[in-house]
Amino acid sequence: MADFHLIRKLSHFTRLSEADKRVLSELCESRVRVFRPRENLILEGDRPQYINLFLDGWACRYKDLENGKRQILSLFIPGDLCDVNIFILKQMDHSIAAITPARVAEISRSAFEAVIADYPRVTQALWWETLVAVAIQREWTASLGQRDARERVCHLLCELFVRLRCVGLTAGNTCPLPLSQSEIGEATGLTTVSVNRVLQELRRSNLISLKGRILTVPDLEKLKAVAMFNANYLHLERDGDNLAANF
């Protein structure tokens, strides 16, 4: 069944029927494109035509400033949908680019609206997914305003680990982390020098290990404590269980 990652994630929000899973699988297979690292999926000012579903690889939402600086606004991992309400925009107010090689399903408005009309549990799950995306944005804002450099980096690592675990992309206490120090800095509002300093400190404290783009977290609870991380904003504890499907 196509895109196990999306189905696994949405199943945290509501209990999908076999028909729900089947239509999601079909939706993911309609039009698939492959992007190279650092290739833009869409640029600020472009007119959006598709909802992007990330099947494989990582990407980011970002904003370029006139002085050449870039702020990463959010990160996409496999199973993430990008802006299910994108069709109301006349033009993009930000850009989206691949971080790694990425395989993306481009979902048309007509296909998406047909699913929404005929599969109410999928609609409910997608509402949950949208609410979580907004909650992540709020948490990132809180980090930028109130957490120090060490706490920001730790919080980002905790969030990514939990999100990857949600879609089955962790192995024990390890997960992929294909972000450069520069990209971590652009996501956390820190310089590359500050990110490097924090990562070295976390290594010395045995809070993390980073080797070959693989992150190891020996004790996730300790890392959460440093970050003041509470996963409640990710709403992964079956918040939508009351919407469960009948089998």
The 10s digit of each residue's pLDDT in 91-131 is 888 999 999 999 999 998 888 889 989 999 999 998 888 89
Distance CA 31, CA 132 (A): 26
How many angstroms separate the Cα of 24 from the Cα of each of 1, 56, 75, 85, 149?
9, 16, 22, 17, 39
Distance CA 157, CA 228 (A): 12
pLDDT band at 236 (very low <50, low <70, confident <90, very high): confident
Classify residue 172 by its DSSP letter. T
Distance CA 215, CA 178 (A): 9
Whether 242 shows a pLDDT value over 80: the answer reads no
- The Cα angle at residue 187 between residues 96 and 92, in degrees rounded to 5: 25
- Average pLDDT, stretch 15-39? 91
Q: What CATH code would you report for 137-234?
A: 1.10.10.10
Contact in structure between 185 and 194 (CB atoms under 8 Å): yes
**Assigned fold of 4-123:** Jelly Rolls (2.60.120)
Contact in structure between 76 and 164 (CB atoms under 8 Å): no
Which helix (H) or strand (E) segment holds residue 136: the answer is helix 120-146
> Positive or negative, the Cα torsion across 247, 239, 234, 174?
negative
Distance CA 143, CA 242 (A): 32
For the chain, domain boundaries: 4-123, 137-234
Distance CA 146, CA 141 (A): 9
Q: Which amino acid is at 127?
A: W
Instruction: Judge residue 11's burial from the number of C-beta atoms within 10 Å of its C-beta, 0-12 exposed, 13-18 middle, 19 or more buried.
Output: middle
More reliable by pLDDT, 86 or 38: 38
pLDDT band at 156 (very low <50, low <70, confident <90, very high): very high
What's the pTM value of the predicted model, to 2 decimals?
0.92
Six-digit token string for 122: 């999928």
Mean pLDDT of the chain: 91
Q: Write phi, then psi, for 50 (nearest 5 degrees).
A: -135, 155
Contact in structure between 145 and 153 (CB atoms under 8 Å): no
